[in-house]
Amino acid sequence: MCWKGFRDLEGNGQQICEPVLVRKRYLKRFNDHREQIEQTARAIGAEFQTFVTDRPLENSLTAFLRTRVNR
């Protein structure tokens, strides 16, 4: 294991943790949260769309709107 120290940006010291485990836990919690939002959206009849932040929003939004028009 490769333990790393992370400094708390709010001034509460430093935490020692295993980055691989932190990433794994973060991704699990993120995906669980995303699934809950998607299920809620479906339950109320709303669409759910995920956009990534490494592409311009207008590109993703245009692609999404095109799929809605082509239905």
The model's pLDDT over 16-28, given as tens digits with 9 standing for 90+, comes to: 788 888 899 999 9
pLDDT band at 1 (very low <50, low <70, confident <90, very high): low
Q: What whole-number distance in Å separates Cα of residue 61 and Cα of residue 64? A: 5
Query: pTM above the 0.85 mark?
Result: no
